[in-house]
Amino acid sequence: MDITEVLLATQSHDGQIRNVAEGNIKQFEEQSLPQFLQALSAELSNDNKPPVSRRLAGILLKNSLDANDLVRKEKCTQRWISVDPAIKSQVKGSLLMTLGSPVSDAHRSSSQVIAKIASIEIPLQGWPELIVSLLGNMTKPDASPSLKQATLDAIGYVCEEISPKDLEQDQVNAVLTAVVQGMNHVENSSGVRLAAVKALYNALDFAETNFQNESERNYIMKVVCETAISKEADIRKAAFECLVSIASTYYDLLEPYMQTLFELTANAARADEEQVALQAIEFWSTICDEEVAIQEDAEESGDVSPECHFHFIEKALPLLVPMLLETLLKQEEDQDEDDGIWNISMAGGTCLGLVATTVKDAIVLLVMPFIEGNITKPDWHSREAATFAFGSILEGPSVEKLAPLVHAGFDFLLNATKDQNNHVRETTAWALSRAFEFLHSPTSGVSVVTNANLPHVIEIMLTSIKDSPNVAEKICGALYFLAHGYENAGSMSSVLSPYFGQLVSALLATADRSDSNNSRLCASAYETLNEIVRCSSIADTLNMIVLLLQEILKRLNQTFEFQITSSEDKEKQSDLQALLCGVVQVILQKFSNCDDKSVIIQFADQIMVLFLRGFSCDSSNVHEEAMLAIGALAYATGPEFVKYMPEFHKYLEMGLQNFGAYQVCCVSVGVVADICRALDDKVLPYCDAIMSALLKDLSSPELHRSVKPPILSCIGDIALTIGEHFEKYVPYTVPMLQGAAELCSRMDLPDDDSTEYKNELRRSIFEAYSGILQGVKNSKSELMVPYASHIFQFAELVLRETSRDEGLTKAGVALVGDLADALGPSIKLLLKNSNFHSELLGRCSQSDDEQLRETASWVQGVISRVLVS
């Protein structure tokens, strides 16, 4: 086939021609991948071909080497590895040649494809000549600016795709030298310099050794700081992005440069173009993030003055705070009309909030004069900035420091909800929500809201929620935190009861507003409604909650009658159905706390019919919320739920096999546990199908890994529920648990997320074994004797580690007890030959955690009985 013609045909306005061309491309790729890659790379490298076909060739090449989906990505990798080395060499040669193309689309595509191949080959020690070849382009005496630019693009993309451990230090040194030379403003065009700064940004993670060397670090910092004052705004922006990354990666090496960095960032924040100023402010937000993390780690470890804390924010405070306060006055007239807007004043306020979290009380006296000086000025910019500053410093400083100021300004803030300017009213509503979030805790005795001012507060909220949609959304947030303050407040929550009906009506009306294109307003209204129900006093509000449930069910029923004429209509319908299912779930959870279950039984049929209709919608969001609500219904109705199982189990099994929307799968797993608790042994007829789906899930490489620990815990719940009937699943389940245990021992831990996942996986293995052991204990304990030694060794291996968390320790100790309790004399020898359990229980008996001490004491008793049996 003529690849050029076919590529161009895929862009045809004629649908039939387009479909045939796309089919031909797909067939070519599937039937002869090596020739497909060869043809595309030749197309991309040929300057005589049309720009459109070259661009499409680049996209297809990239897509044949990489994918977002992990399973498909691995398939792409293996396909490339299996291609004949001679053809791979030819493709790579074409791509490197294309870097010299004067057509920017072609050389940019080529640099991206080179990086994709590098991401496959370099970790496997392949393509050693790539870096040499790229660096050679940078030192050619006759290299054109477009070749240098494309080469730097390729270097940057390669660094983005591979890990620092994949390059030798001499390669890193050569890359950094080439990149820094590319930033030289005397020798290079602006396009080359921009590509060099972006490449440096991607190469910073590789430069750890270079940053530890003072002279190399000084040189890199000098070049970046000089580039931050270039003539071109996009180069200045890229340089500040490098500084933000350096602040995060090399915080502990920044001290000698902080004076220069303050001057650079302050000048940019005050006078530079917005895109540059935003990055300058982001530098200080990043320093705050680093220092807050250091403080949190120090608090956890009990380290009073950590060596790595340089207190940059505290030292810069007298100059930094005024600079940030200035940015608050740079609002945009129409910023309330665009949900996704991010401007200098928003960045400055966000940074000010982070500064408050970092230095705590020290910020208050620096900000109060600005608030007092601007809050009553005629210009709305001043009033809004003062209110924004006030709201920004409410998280961080102590309640003792803030309470007097907030009490003094609270009435003023409530009155400002009537300001003539929409921006001021919106920021005021946001500041009130912050005040309620951080300074409204009736149970602790500290609250800006008192029994005396509550009626006025509610009156203001009910009036302001009718304001423009952006103000109403912030008022929903304020009401959310007002209600949240009464959570777990016992009888104190009754103070909201007289207003419950008015608040519910106002929120339902807000959710229905037709003057808003902002879908967040509807979501905020329903989320706030949930919180008001959750925190209400059931004794006072039961009848009103029943009326609310009837209204929500009516609304949910109406959604199925919507006229759907576009994808936007479909999305709105799904979003609303998910929100309404969420409200039903909260109401069911509230009713679960009642002794009288008659209310739930009265509505259960109607609720179930609507939820089952929800599963016919093609929306994972609706499926997830409906599943959560069904879990709440099962918990609330208990054994009565069995009558819904003949119809519901089909949807449950579909949910358990929904690998694509793994959140639905995860929620479905949780519902299985709810149903086990509700139905007890009445769940038996459905266990074969459920267990089959769960075991399939565990063995599937397609299912997101986060679902696998809950599945293992769920298997424990099933075993505990059906007891001796679990016997037929043991031969399939235990090897799966042993495989999971083996996986844990081989797992790499490159970051905190991996460590957390490993702990979660191991805890769920413990829970699964505990459930099985408790389930078979009374009549079939001999089933587990052959596995006892493996279980005990796994528990010992994990519990000897120091990196385990508390939940893992509790689950592990409980498992040792369940093993001894279920298998008794059968494992007497195993326990006798080990001193591990006595060491472990000795340590646990000294723990600060009362629950762990109690569990350890029970386990000690069980083991003692076994040893004397």
| pLDDT, position 750 | 66
- Is the pLDDT at 703 greater than 90? The verdict is no
Confidence band of 745 (pLDDT split at 50, 70, 90):
confident
Of 213-227, 329-343, 356-370, 799-813, the poorest mean pLDDT is in 329-343
- Which of 829, 822, 855 is CA-nearest to residue 841? 855
Distance of CA 488 to the CA centre of its chain: 28
In angstroms, the CA 675 to CA 638 distance is 8
| pLDDT, position 856 | 94
- Is the pLDDT at 534 greater than 90? The verdict is yes
- Is the pLDDT at 29 greater than 80? The verdict is yes
Q: Average pLDDT of the chain?
A: 93
Confidence band of 304 (pLDDT split at 50, 70, 90):
confident
In angstroms, the CA 381 to CA 726 distance is 69
| pLDDT, position 336 | 65
DSSP characters over 805-838: -HHHHHHHHHHHHHHHHHHGGGGHHHHHT--HHH
Mean pLDDT of 804-825: 93
| pLDDT, position 339 | 64
Mean pLDDT of 223-228: 96
Strand boundaries in 59-166, DSSP class E: none
In angstroms, the CA 834 to CA 690 distance is 38
- Is the pLDDT at 16 greater than 90? The verdict is yes
- Structure pTM? 0.87
In angstroms, the CA 404 to CA 408 distance is 6
| pLDDT, position 241 | 98
Confidence band of 814 (pLDDT split at 50, 70, 90):
very high
- Is the pLDDT at 446 greater than 90? The verdict is no
Mean pLDDT of 394-409: 94
- Which of 836, 813, 824, 814 is CA-nearest to residue 867? 824
Mean pLDDT of 481-509: 91
Confidence band of 847 (pLDDT split at 50, 70, 90):
confident
In order of 15, 56, 240, 864, the CA distances from 18 in angstroms are 5, 14, 45, 77
pLDDT tens digits, one per residue of 662-680: 899 999 999 999 999 999 9
In angstroms, the CA 775 to CA 718 distance is 9
Share of the chain above pLDDT 70, in %: 99
Asked whether the beta carbons of 91 and 42 are under 8 A apart, the reply is: no
Residues composing the chain = 869
Q: Is 819 exposed, middle or buried (0-12, 13-18, 19+ CB in 10 A)?
A: buried
Confidence band of 804 (pLDDT split at 50, 70, 90):
confident
Confidence band of 489 (pLDDT split at 50, 70, 90):
confident
| pLDDT, position 743 | 86
Instruction: Give ∠ CA 524-437-422 in degrees, rounded to 5.
Output: 55
DSSP 657: T
| pLDDT, position 541 | 92
Residues 148, 152, 158, 164: is their CA dihedral positive or negative? positive
Structure tokens at 198: 């972006």
Mean pLDDT of 106-116: 96
- Which of 113, 110, 114 is CA-nearest to residue 131? 114
| pLDDT, position 581 | 96
Mean pLDDT of 822-826: 93
Mean pLDDT of 794-808: 87
Q: Collapsing DSSP states into helix, strand and coil, what is residue 105?
A: helix
- Is the pLDDT at 497 greater than 90? The verdict is yes
CB burial string 283-317: b at 16+ within 10 A, e below: bbbbbbbbbeebbeeeeeeeeeeeeebbebbbebb
Mean pLDDT of 34-62: 95
Question: Which ranges of 535-619 does DSSP label H, i.e. alpha helix?
Answer: 538-559, 567-592, 598-614
| pLDDT, position 811 | 95
**Sequence-ordered list of residues with C-beta below 8 angstroms from that of 765, at least 6 positions apart, any chain:** 712, 737, 740, 741, 744, 794
pLDDT tens digits, one per residue of 541-579: 999 999 999 999 999 999 999 998 998 889 999 999 999
Asked whether the beta carbons of 819 and 862 are under 8 A apart, the reply is: no
Structure tokens at 67: 């994918």
| pLDDT, position 492 | 76
SS3 sequence of 375-425: CCCCCHHHHHHHHHHHHHCCCCCCHHHHHHHHHHHHHHHHHHHHCCCHHHH
Mean pLDDT of 237-245: 98
- Is the pLDDT at 338 greater than 80? The verdict is no
Asked whether the beta carbons of 522 and 511 are under 8 A apart, the reply is: yes
- Is the pLDDT at 335 greater than 80? The verdict is no
| pLDDT, position 595 | 75
Asked whether the beta carbons of 448 and 436 are under 8 A apart, the reply is: yes
Mean pLDDT of 699-713: 91
- Is the pLDDT at 752 greater than 90? The verdict is no
Structure tokens at 816: 């040792």
Asked whether the beta carbons of 507 and 532 are under 8 A apart, the reply is: yes
- Is the pLDDT at 220 greater than 70? The verdict is yes
| pLDDT, position 848 | 87
303-309, Cβ contacts within 8 angstroms, sequence gap of 24 or more: 308/251, 308/252
**Sequence-ordered list of residues with C-beta below 8 angstroms from that of 554, at least 6 positions apart, any chain:** none
Asked whether the beta carbons of 169 and 209 are under 8 A apart, the reply is: yes
Asked whether the beta carbons of 614 and 629 are under 8 A apart, the reply is: no
Structure tokens at 839: 């060491």
Asked whether the beta carbons of 235 and 225 are under 8 A apart, the reply is: no
* Element of type H or E holding 645: helix 645-656
Distance of CA 126 to the CA centre of its chain: 34
In angstroms, the CA 116 to CA 348 distance is 38
